[in-house]
Every structure is written in C-alpha cells, then in structure tokens.
Amino acid sequence: MPTSYRNKRWRLVFLAVPLAWGFTEFKSLDVLPYWGFYGHRLINRMAVYTLPDEMFPLFKQEIDYITEHAVDPDKRRYAAIGEAGRHYIDLDRWGRSPFPDLPRDWTLAFLAKNPVRLLNVQKEDLGYYSSVDSFLIDFPQWELFLKDEVRSHLSDEVWTLDQWPDTLHLEGVSLVQIDNELMAHGVVPYFIPVQYNRLVHAFLDNDPKQVLRLAADLGHYVADAHVPLHATMNYNGQMTDQVGIHAFWESRIPELFAESQYDFLVGKADYIRDVKKFAWNVVMESNALVDSVLLIEKRLSQELPEDEQYCFEERLNQVVRLPCASYAAKYQQTMAGMVERRMQQSILAVGSIWFSAWVDAGQPDLRNYLTINWNARDKEAEELLEKAFRGGKVLGRPHE
C-alpha cells in the first residue's frame, strides 16, 4: 500500500443523520428484511467515511446512490437466475474447518463438483470421446476436455461466473450441460475477486457510473461474506429447529441496537494486497462463528419461556411476531457483541476493497468523475429491478 495512506488520521463520522435516514427507509421498505436491507445500506454508507481524501469527495457526493444501491444484489435475486449463489457459501459441505478438500480456485472447484454431460460432440472433434449425442464424462476426461477445448475459448468474464450458464456454448454450439451444484451451494468467495476486477476496470475506463454501480454491489457481497449464517448449510437454523435465526441475527438485532449502541468509528480503509485470499479469510472467519450463533441461541431458547422470546409488534398496520427486544439483547450480549463486530469489520472491509480497486487502477483522479448525470435510462433500469423485486419470487435460496 502506498505509504501516504498509512498513518492518516481517519475521518470523524457523524452518525445521527445517516442512521435516522436508514431507519425510516427500512420501515417503509420491508417489514422483515433480510445484514437485511437496513444493514447493507448502513454498511455501504459508513464505508464512505473510511475513504482517503482523493476518493471521499466523489463517494460523499454520491453517498445516497451508494447507500440505496447497496441492496441491488438482493433485489436481483428476484430477477436473475444465478444471482442467489453469489451471496453465500455452504462451507461445511466440504467437511470441517479448515476444509482441506475445498479448492479455493474456481476452476478446480468447478471440476471437483460439477457432473457434466457433453452434447453433440463427435469423436473426431475431440479425439478422445466416442461419437454419441450426449453422455456423462468422468473427472479426468472432463479436466482434459475443459483445459484443451473449452477454457481457451472462453473469456475470463464468462468463465468466472458472469451469467453462469447451465449450458456452455462454443462457437454457437451447445457443448456442455452442467448440473450446477457448485452454484447452488454458493460462490461468494469466488465471486468477490471477479467483481473486484470489474471495479478496477471501471476505474481504468474512467467510467464513473460503472464505478459507483460496481462499488455498491461489491459492498453488498463483501458484507454478506461477513455474516456467519452466509457460510453454512444450516443458514436459517433449519437443521437445528431454529428457523428464523437468519433474520434474527442479521436484521432484527442491528435494527434494534445499531443506532443506539454500535460504534461505527472503524478507522481508515486499508490496502488489500490479495483480494482472493481476503475473501476466503472473511468466509472462514464467518464459518468459525456459526457454532456460537446457533448454540447460544439454542441454549437461551431452552432457558427462557416462549413469551419472553417472541413478541408481537405492529408494522405497517400489520401485527407481526418477532424476537422480543429483551431476548435479542440477551442473545447479543451472550454473543459478546458479535453482530456489532461483524458489522464494523464489514464497513472497514468495504471501504478497503473500494480503496484497493482504485489503487490497483493507478489512482485515477476522481475529480473528473464529479459531473455524473444519472439519466432516464439509468432510472429505467432501476425501475425494472424494483418491479422484479416487488412482484417476484426469489430465484434460488430465499435466505441467502
């Protein structure tokens, strides 16, 4: 990291206004959001205040954009197949920490986990397959085929998950059908570096709108990776009779306590040398917290009568059943402030990843970006996404 960014005094954050804003938004948007909309907006917003002087004016000018669009990836889960898997990873599906069999490299993970059916491939085309319309291939064959025939024809963008296909096409011909098990079990640590590279390129292209879009999105994925229940198969307590714990941890607790209790003075963005390693570290830390998240709640739920666990509250003229504030306080306290800590770490991580992308792009002068004109086409794209979100059904796992 450039030394000029090392010991600078970090910026003072004035919390009252953005927090008040965050709460009004939350209530008008979603009764039971899932970090929830509230948390994601808050994290992206606070991350702006970690940025160095060269980046701060642009992000401060566009802070409402960065805040509001922190939740686009969650809205896209209603619009795009393949979006859902970018928000989590079922790490425990690979055994126990430190998951020695889990490939950190996308191609190797893909090879290990996806049964593949070849379509319309002739022996003479490839040299080592017989001539049939469709057949399953085993791992060594697939590896050879992938390396020799497929990989070299695909751009990194396609290969690394963008619009991830069920079928791979090569020169207009459907070649490979994929039972995409890997995607279904989540790809967040594989996807963060992909999105990061896109952000670096947006800076290199001097494309301010794209920079802000990608920065807002990337903030979302980085924050999701910090949530313990985004790093386990038991993501909503469904395997341990704790259904609802996902929203309890990441929405209800921040909603109740962030404004009044949390300290968001997290320091200054730092340069991340290796984004891939960083993304993996974050999900590994999240996974290591899963046992506490589940076991502590389980114990409390067994110690306390049910009427001290669930309360009824009125939201948008509806009475909803929610974990009681006193129960949430007890849970939070017994977890020794884990929710606050993960939120603080998310804020610093989001600021740091934005900052690193800018550094890796050669620190372009962002004063040239300040005359952004969001136009009718941008508005239209937003409205389309909003429509899909309001009217739709999640394509994939409902609780990330």
Residues of this chain that interact with Zn ion (CB under 5 A) are 74, 87, 224, 400
CA distance 257 to 100: 38
Quote the least distance from Cβ 224 to Zn ion, whole Å.
Answer: 4
Quote the least distance from Cβ 66 to Zn ion, whole Å.
Answer: 16
Nearest residue (CB) to Zn ion, 183 versus 366: 183
Closest residue to Zn ion using C-beta atoms: 87
CA distance 372 to 167: 38
Quote the least distance from Cβ 86 to Zn ion, whole Å.
Answer: 8
Quote the least distance from Cβ 227 to Zn ion, whole Å.
Answer: 9
Q: What amino acid occupies position 335? A: M
User: Kind of pairing, strands 116-121 and 132-137?
Assistant: antiparallel
CA distance 291 to 234: 10
Quote the least distance from Cβ 400 to Zn ion, whole Å.
Answer: 5
Nearest residue (CB) to Zn ion, 201 versus 397: 397
Nearest residue (CB) to Zn ion, 74 versus 255: 74
Q: Quick check: 142 and 111 in contact, CB under 8 A? A: yes
CA distance 232 to 287: 6
For the chain, the distance separating the N- and C-terminal CA atoms, rounded to the nearest angstrom, is 33
Across the strands, what pairs with 323?
A: 310
Across the strands, what pairs with 310?
A: 323
Nearest residue (CB) to Zn ion, 58 versus 258: 258
Nearest residue (CB) to Zn ion, 71 versus 357: 71
Nearest residue (CB) to Zn ion, 34 versus 264: 34
Q: What amino acid occupies position 144? A: L
CA 168 from centroid of its chain's CA atoms? 25
Quote the least distance from Cβ 37 to Zn ion, whole Å.
Answer: 10
Nearest residue (CB) to Zn ion, 350 versus 366: 350
| DSSP string of 138-188, one letter each residue | -HHHHHHHIIIIIGGGS-HHHHTTTT--SEEEETTEEEEEE--HHHHT--H
CA distance 390 to 337: 34
Quote the least distance from Cβ 221 to Zn ion, whole Å.
Answer: 7
